[in-house]
């Protein structure tokens, strides 16, 4: 069972944030192609970065929630270990 099976709302949130980031990244590319100011490009890049971070945290939080709701999955190896979750979480910071 993957983490999103226990939290379909988190799945929806993560997908929406990733799609938003994709749109924002297209905006960055367009600004660069149009010769926009550095300030405009960096502002748009910051928005992309933030959207990606939020999606990542949502995904890690769903995995943590799965471990809490289904501790047997964690014991059987079907869920991420605490060390794996910690590494994923830290990779986002």
pLDDT in tens, 10-68: 889 999 999 999 999 999 999 999 999 999 999 999 999 999 998 988 888 887 777 76
Domain residue extents for the chain:
3-91
Top pLDDT among 37 and 80 is at 37
The DSSP secondary-structure symbol of 32 reads H
Looking at residue 10, its pLDDT comes to 86
Cα separation of 49 and 47, whole Å? 5
pTM of the predicted model, to two decimals? 0.71
At 92, give phi and psi (nearest 5°).
-85, -15
Instruction: Answer yes or no: CATH 1.20.58.1000 is held by domain 3-91.
Output: yes
Q: What's residue 77's pLDDT?
A: 63
41: tokens are: 């490009």
pLDDT score for 32: 93
Residues in the chain: 93
The closest alpha carbon to 63, from 21, 1, 18, belongs to 1
């Amino acid at each position: 069972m993957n983490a999103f099976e226990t939290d379909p709302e988190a799945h929806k949130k993560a997908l929406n944030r990733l799609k938003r980031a994709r749109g924002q990244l297209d905006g960055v590319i367009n600004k660069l192609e149009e010769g926009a100011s550095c300030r405009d490009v960096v502002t748009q890049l910051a928005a992309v970065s933030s959207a990606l971070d939020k999606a990542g945290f949502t995904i890690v939080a769903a995995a943590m929630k799965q471990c809490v709701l289904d501790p047997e999955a964690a014991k059987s190896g079907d869920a991420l270990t605490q060390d794996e979750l910690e590494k994923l979480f830290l990779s986002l910071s």
